[in-house]
A and B are shown apart, each in its own frame.
Chain A
Amino acid sequence: MQVAANYIDQILIFSIFALSLNLLLGYMGQVSVAHASFGAIGGYAVGYLSLTHGWNVFLAVLFGAVLAGVVGAIVALPALRLSVEYLILLTLGVSSVLLGLFQTFPQLGGTYGLIGIPIASIFGHDLVKTSDWILPLAVILAIVYSICHRLGESPFGRVLKGIRDDDKATLSLGKNVVFYKVLVFGITCGLAGLAGGLLAGFNSLATPSQFGFDVSLAIFAMVIFGGTGNLTGSILGATTVVLTKPFLEWAVSLAPETAALWRLTFYGLLLVVLMRLRAQGLLPEGVSIFRPSTWRAPRTNPELASADVVPATVVAAAEEWETRLEVVETPADERRRERTWADAPVVLEVTGLSKSFGSIVAAEDLSIVLRKGTITALVGPNGAGKTTVFNLLTGFIPPDSGSVKLNGRELVGSKPNRVARAGMVRSWQDVRVIPRLSSLQNVMLGVQDQSGEHLAPLFANVAGVKRREREVREASMDWLSFVGMSDFADTPAGALSFGQSKLVALARVLSTNADVLLLDEPASGIDTQWVEAMLALIEKVREQGRTVCIVEHNLHVVDHLADHTYFMELGRITDQGTFQELTNSPRLAEAYFGTN
């Protein structure tokens, strides 16, 4: 009985480890192979405080969790901009440093660790037998599960998944990626500290080997087995890994020492096989064992999503546009358009913007004006630096000098998320939809001021978060309908065709409600039908009074959309005017078409 209870307790404790690592790895895409060493912080806190200061074990567990969380947040700071391989290495290094430190202090028992931690008691009940631990551990696991679930399956989790799949795109939508990374790293390390503290209290000892690198790897394996991004999966994974040992001992009647070795061999090989056959784990993301409807992979509208079908609403818009294209613009129209442009109030004023990379000048003394309710085009040959301009305007690349004023407010020096929140959002040439989120979720990610994206309201104002989420969903659905993609609301964005994902990306930019939209090649790489749909949509956006700037190679698009055009070569703006004026200038013809 006590043997079984021992395994149940271990499953409960390791489930906490696995859940917290899953939040980090599965939801936010940050690899850590140091999870057990954060557990060691909790474990040693329990050992030290209960042995030398006579603390109650559970009080010490809480303290250890907070301490581990703080250390985790500090470690997250260098981890912020690292790619996966560096993150593996950093956490490997952190694991070695932490374990090494614990062994260095004689107060912490050196290589032997701390032994003889007093019996834990909670609310006056002493936890003497292993079976006494089951209830408190189960309650704590339930609490941790609900915390992780709340963080992962909410607007907060949507941002995390955005960061996981494309942190730049998420940043460009106004989300403070740095803050989320530090916060979630801290929270998950804190939960690891909690689990480590419980493990030390349960085993009555805190030793280096209890939290060694192989334990970190075992926790990592649990998350991978269960399925990254699936919380129930993590409990399943923890159960599988913990139970392999007794299974081998009883079923194959191996000696305990050999069984331990075979267990590790077994799950090591299982990891290899799993990666090959079922990389998403036993329970893939989005699958719930309690809801059979989620068991099959989502294949909504198979006939729609499979082929590159233009949605009917988009076709209608395109046809409407086509009839308008037949109306030839007279020079008088052209002049009127230019006059309207000149009369419109200035929204964005860029002056003297320069940037060079070493000896390569990417932008030199750029001055650009965007006016309210108009479309400005930036044209120029490949390599002229058009996309760099977008990067400079939105803070992705800090300029060397110059000023970017949005409605009079200086944006130079602001981070991309600040620029987005100030009301200027860019789209990406390579679309950058979040592949594992549905179309609707992608658009919802664009909506600003969501209370559910912040920690305090997420837990303190559940009703308010729910209400706001409903509003966000409705608004996003409206934007999806606007671009004609509402039939694909539940389709994962990664399953869409290129044209479809461009429309979703447009809806996502629109849902930010930004005044100024910078669209990077909105009509490139798609068929004529899609181009026309895109033209119709951008024109509609202008009618709503938004200010649009496009970078575009398709001169047909520029001709029909742009109220004003800047011509750019080798990082400098060399001409501007209406598109007709520019095409008549021999300079552009030479640079752009290679003729004169």
Chain B
Amino acid sequence: MLAVTFETLRQLIASGIVNGASYGILGVAFALILGVTGRFHYAFGVLYTLAAFFAFTFFDRVGWPFWLSAVVGVLITVAMGVGIEALIYRPLAAKAGSNALLAIFVASLGLGIAGSNLIQIFWGAQTHSLLGFALKPVSVLGANVINVDVYSVITAIALVAGLTSLLRFTGLGRSIKATRSNPEMALLIGVDPARIYLVVFAIASLFAGIAAIWAALKYSVEPTMGFRPVVLAFVVAFLGGTAKSPVRVFATGIVIGLIETISSIWLPVRWTQLVVFVILVLYLISFSVNRSWFTRLGTALTGKA
């Protein structure tokens, strides 16, 4: 093992939290969709990318102020997310019945493939910079990050906190949770799942759009920018649990981010990108092979059943 200085570790933890917050917020959004609607929304990545491209176009090409461009970009994403649910997924689910999950996944895959190529057709394959405001180095508890990192982590925490209180304290939130645990029962107590699904798609698209704007500011706007964060979001959502509290899913995202950066102490960079997937595959193996083994391990560690 290599010796690591405290400074290096602190730096790695900081960037792990920054990356993890982004995975976490996307994971929360994806888990909300999968948990409540049961739709494997693969086209999520394209919506993420589109938010950045719209903001870029309004700001850089049309010449609107940055914040207006960003807000409009995110709102278009929200509208598209809701539109996909209303115009594509819902009719498909009604038709496919018990095969809905696969049918929707295939349609979503189609949307994802078409969307990412249309982006390249309209905007070209090159990389653009979104120079909304100046990136400044900031020191947080001694770790060097940039101002966008701080903003993105803060918004992510705020969004998760907002979603958690929405779910816990409002009637709408309770309806969402009721739909998540049992759509038929929810219908019986007067909750309209179709409406809840639209709300869920709106919230999730909002989260994706905001995460995309921060990523675009920090890195760049490019057609493939959505792929990796969104695949990691799938992983985070599954590891965190699609029917679990957003806080838990978000925390899973942070852990994944930390594992990714901290493993770079021992592993070459190319391997660290794999670490997350190796963890996922191991998790799924353990998940399917023997769940009781983990329960027993848990019992042994905590001393209670």
- Which residues of A are in contact with B by a Cβ distance under 8 Å? 31, 77-82, 84-86, 88-90, 92-94, 96-97, 100-101, 103-104, 213-214, 217, 220-221, 224, 258, 261-262, 264-272, 274-276, 279
**A92 x B234 contact (CB < 8 A):** yes
User: A78-B288, A79-B288, A103-B270 known; A271 and B113 CB under 8 Å?
Assistant: yes
**B103 x A217 contact (CB < 8 A):** no
Q: In the complex, A449→B27 CA distance in Å?
A: 48
11 A-B contact pairs sorted by A residue (CB < 8 Å): A77-B285, A78-B281, A85-B34, A85-B101, A93-B281, A104-B274, A261-B120, A265-B114, A268-B112, A271-B106, A279-B96
Interface string of B109-131 (1 = CB under 8 A from A): 11111111110110000000000
Q: In the complex, A85→B39 CA distance in Å?
A: 9
B280 CB-CB contact with A under 8 Å: yes
Q: CB-nearest residue of chain B relative to A224?
A: B106
**B107 x A269 contact (CB < 8 A):** no
Q: Which residues of B contact A272 (CB under 8 A)?
A: 88, 107, 110-111, 114
Q: CB-nearest residue of chain A relative to B237?
A: A89
B271 CB-CB contact with A under 8 Å: yes
**A265 x B271 contact (CB < 8 A):** no
**B277 x A97 contact (CB < 8 A):** yes
B162 CB-CB contact with A under 8 Å: no
Q: Which residues of A contact B273 (CB under 8 A)?
A: 100
B201 CB-CB contact with A under 8 Å: no
**A86 x B88 contact (CB < 8 A):** no
**A93 x B235 contact (CB < 8 A):** yes
Q: Which residues of A contact B79 (CB under 8 A)?
A: none
Q: In the complex, A96→B281 CA distance in Å?
A: 11
Task: Please name the 8 residue pairs, one residue from A and one from B, whose CB atoms are nearest each other, closest first.
Answer: A271-B110, A268-B114, A268-B113, A78-B285, A272-B110, A264-B117, A265-B117, A275-B107
**A100 x B270 contact (CB < 8 A):** yes
Q: How many residues of B contact A (CB 8 A)?
A: 46
B289 CB-CB contact with A under 8 Å: yes
**B270 x A86 contact (CB < 8 A):** no
**B121 x A258 contact (CB < 8 A):** yes
**A84 x B110 contact (CB < 8 A):** no
B185 CB-CB contact with A under 8 Å: no
Min distance, Cβ A501 to any Cβ of chain B, angstroms: 15
Q: Which residues of A contact B281 (CB under 8 A)?
A: 78, 90, 93-94, 97
**A93 x B102 contact (CB < 8 A):** no
User: A97-B274, A261-B120 known; A82 and B113 CB under 8 Å?
Assistant: no
**B113 x A267 contact (CB < 8 A):** yes
Q: Which residues of A contact B102 (CB under 8 A)?
A: 31, 84
User: A93-B277, A100-B274, A261-B120 known; A88 and B105 CB under 8 Å?
Assistant: yes
Residue in B34, B117, B277, B284 whose beta carbon sits within 8 Å of that of A78 in the complex:
B284
B83 CB-CB contact with A under 8 Å: no
Min distance, Cβ A163 to any Cβ of chain B, angstroms: 15
Q: In the complex, A103→B269 CA distance in Å?
A: 12
**A268 x B274 contact (CB < 8 A):** no
**A86 x B238 contact (CB < 8 A):** yes
**A217 x B277 contact (CB < 8 A):** no
**A276 x B270 contact (CB < 8 A):** no
Residue in A93, A94, A221, A258 whose beta carbon sits within 8 Å of that of B110 in the complex:
A221
Q: Which residues of A contact B105 (CB under 8 A)?
A: 31, 84-85, 88
B294 CB-CB contact with A under 8 Å: no
B296 CB-CB contact with A under 8 Å: no
**A276 x B95 contact (CB < 8 A):** yes
Min distance, Cβ A589 to any Cβ of chain B, angstroms: 33
Q: Which residues of B contact A80 (CB under 8 A)?
A: 288
Interface string of B144-183 (1 = CB under 8 A from A): 0000000000000000000000000000000000000000
Min distance, Cβ B46 to any Cβ of chain A, angstroms: 10
Q: In the complex, A275→B103 CA distance in Å?
A: 6
User: A79-B288, A82-B284, A84-B101 known; A97 and B278 CB under 8 Å?
Assistant: yes
Min distance, Cβ B147 to any Cβ of chain A, angstroms: 32
Q: Which residues of A contact B88 (CB under 8 A)?
A: 272, 276
**B117 x A86 contact (CB < 8 A):** no
Min distance, Cβ B290 to any Cβ of chain A, angstroms: 10
Min distance, Cβ B210 to any Cβ of chain A, angstroms: 24
Min distance, Cβ A529 to any Cβ of chain B, angstroms: 29
Q: In the complex, A220→B42 CA distance in Å?
A: 14
B44 CB-CB contact with A under 8 Å: no
**B284 x A262 contact (CB < 8 A):** no
Q: Which residues of A contact B278 (CB under 8 A)?
A: 97
Q: Which residues of B contact A224 (CB under 8 A)?
A: 106
**B92 x A93 contact (CB < 8 A):** no
Min distance, Cβ B295 to any Cβ of chain A, angstroms: 11
Q: CB-nearest residue of chain B relative to A165?
A: B98
B65 CB-CB contact with A under 8 Å: no
**A268 x B117 contact (CB < 8 A):** yes
Q: Which residues of A contact B114 (CB under 8 A)?
A: 264-266, 268-269, 272
Q: Which residues of A contact B117 (CB under 8 A)?
A: 261-262, 264-265, 268
Q: In the complex, A258→B271 CA distance in Å?
A: 34
Q: In the complex, A515→B276 CA distance in Å?
A: 51
| Contact residues of B between 212 and 239, Cβ < 8 Å to A | 227, 231, 234-235, 238
**A270 x B274 contact (CB < 8 A):** no
Q: In the complex, A121→B209 CA distance in Å?
A: 53
Q: Which residues of A contact B298 (CB under 8 A)?
A: none
B40 CB-CB contact with A under 8 Å: yes
Interface string of B246-280 (1 = CB under 8 A from A): 00000000000000000000001011011001101
Min distance, Cβ A433 to any Cβ of chain B, angstroms: 14
Q: In the complex, A408→B271 CA distance in Å?
A: 56
Min distance, Cβ A376 to any Cβ of chain B, angstroms: 32
Min distance, Cβ A569 to any Cβ of chain B, angstroms: 27
User: A81-B288, A94-B281 known; A271 and B121 CB under 8 Å?
Assistant: no
Q: CB-nearest residue of chain A relative to B279?
A: A93
